[in-house]
Amino acid sequence: MIITVKPAKSLRGELATLPADKSVAHRAAIFAALAKGESVIENYSLAADPQSTLQCLRDLGVFVKQNKSQVVISSNGRLAFKPQKTQIDCGNSGTTMRLLSGIVAGAGLDITLTGDASLSSRPMKRVIEPLRTMGAKIESSPGDRAPIRFLSHEGLKPIEYILPVASAQVKSCVLLAGLFANGETRVIEKLPSRDHTERMLGLPSEISKHGARILKSSSSFEVKPGNTRVPNDISAAAFWMVAASIVPDSDVKLMSVGINPSRNAVIDILKRMGADIEVEVVSGSRDELLAEPVADIRIRSASLKAVQLHENEIPNCIDEIPVLAVAMAFADGHSEVRNAAELRAKECDRISAVVEMLQNAGVNIIEHEDGFEIAGNQNIAPKSSDYRSFHDHRIAMAASVLSLKSAGESTVADAECVSISYPDFYMHLSELCQ
């Protein structure tokens, strides 16, 4: 599907129905499957990736009932999985495959996790290695990629694992596998990554004398059922934060957005750039069923200045970097993103995709192995272009935001990929542009 995006004179309005947070939704469903009893999840994401997680849980023998955005999960606990298939399809979802790898390995199930062509090209060595160290028997495709076959074993042993990269998915995979091991598994995190797993499960943690965070799990830890509500996704909100900042005469309000401290760097970065952003923390019962802070966010257009991203904030904003690059194009001065090589291992090589996107618009950008440099100018008039999405939802949406500032109409190819995380993106774009 090719989408045509027209330049916008302003963006105005309120979005109350942003997509639910995918990271939280995945985990809420998976953790409910580990608990003995019934759990109810409200505002569950209807995007393709979290739906893949629900189907995978069904294929593992877990009762899952869905009515629009409400999901009911009933389970007999972490030792009661009864796979209905020998091959379980994770679709395009790396989170699904990496988190389920910890559970499948821990439970000693004899099944294969598969995915689509994009997922099968992404690195899985980062979860396979620690799971093998714990005693899991795993066979993989060349290059330690999917499909991944898990074989039954005699049980996992606990390990102490120092994360080689700041990755919430790897951290979560090892901690989830640790829930099946006799003894304490310790994951040591030198650079912070998203903390949804430990926050939602309530896993014990401590800080080492060197400042690293040590997270712990074991088979004695009880995962409890309960009722939860998923906040709206800050990664989806980031596209409107940037769009409203760069398009003149804009005023946009985003409701019930999750502002988890390990996810909200995009707000701090845009504020450093001079963005006009107001964050009103929500109190009361609207979204307090999870241990996740929530806020209403108002953004008005502003003059932006260049920014350099710090190494320790890269994991906190890794998914927002493509659209932050668009903001950098309209910020006066020299912006730089480094230590972000992880972007090359996403749904596509997001570094090269961002470079091509901005070059097509006439922006001066230099590519590095671990990032890029942008010579920005708030008065730049981007050329209209025919953008490639690379079948990556975040690239498609970033290109669409960029197109709002172009001199004429631009197109985005294979734009249907936005359904992976934000099925209503183009409908919301149309509403805000009216």
Q: What are the residue numbers of the active site?
A: 319
Q: Tokens 């009216």 appear where?
A: 434
Helical residues (DSSP H) of 273-331, grouped into ranges = 314-317, 321-329
Of 268, 275, 233, 222, residue with least CA distance to 252:
275
Of 405, 227, 397, residue with least CA distance to 331:
405
Whether 86 and 111 have beta carbons less than 8 Å apart is answered as yes
Of 96, 97, 156, 87, residue with least CA distance to 124:
97
Phi, psi of 294 (to 5 degrees): -135, 145
Report, in this order, helix, strand and coil percent for the chain, each rounded to 5. 35, 25, 40
Q: Is the peptide bond before 147 cis (omega within 30 degrees of 0)?
A: yes
- Supply the angle between the helices 425-433 and 234-246 in degrees, to the nearest 10: 30
Q: Tokens 């409701």 appear where?
A: 255
Exposure string for 195-234, b = 16+ CB within 10 A, e = fewer: bbbbbbbebeeeeeeeeebebbbbbebebebbebbbbbbb
Strands 111-114 and 87-89: parallel
> Could you tell me if residue 414 is left (phi over 0), alpha (psi between -120 and 50 degrees) or otherwise beta?
left
